[in-house]
Amino acid sequence: SYELTQPPSVSVSPGQTARITCSGDALPKQYGHWYQQKPGQAPVLLLYKDSERPSGIPERFSGSTSGTTVTLTISGVQAEDEADYYCQSADSSGTYVVFGGGTKLTVL
């Protein structure tokens, strides 16, 4: 079955830039989407179509894509950004939804 691969954890100091990658063979064909989940809460859509921000999402969250990898970049990380981040996409046929394994962002 198709998988999206994320690093289990990323650590960054406040004010620095955090980058979280998501790799998958179908990503050149399919968009990647990102979700933020804080403890005890439902996930929130952070970015869609690789880099589009829903209303209300701060500009410090941005996305990019290159080949088989999509990347979530958080510029000027704040303590409140400490959370789990999940990428989501589809298999090459676009039939099945797939989530990455999640990345825990720790703000040092």
Partner 1 sequence: QITLKESGPTLVKPTQTLTLTCTFSGFSLSTSGVGVGWIRQPPGKALEWLALIYWNDGKRYSPSLKSRLTIPNDSSKNQVVLTMTNMDPVDTATYYCVHNYYSSSWGDYFDYWGQGTLVTVSS
- The CB-of-81 to partner 1 minimum distance in angstroms stands at 19
- The CB-of-60 to partner 1 minimum distance in angstroms stands at 20
Contact range with partner 1 by CB under 8 A, out of 15-23, 59-67, 71-79, 97-105: 97-105
Q: Does 1 bind partner 1 (CB under 8 A)?
A: yes
Polymer length in residues for the chain: 108
Tokens of 50: 């690789």
Q: Does 96 bind partner 1 (CB under 8 A)?
A: yes
- Residues paired with residue 88 on neighbouring β-strands, in sequence order: 33, 99
CB of 33 closer than 8 Å to CB of 87: yes
Among 17, 19, 49, 66, which residue interacts with partner 1 (rule: CB under 8 A)?
49
Distance CA 44, CA 61 (A): 13
Distance CA 57, CA 55 (A): 6
- The CB-of-19 to partner 1 minimum distance in angstroms stands at 20
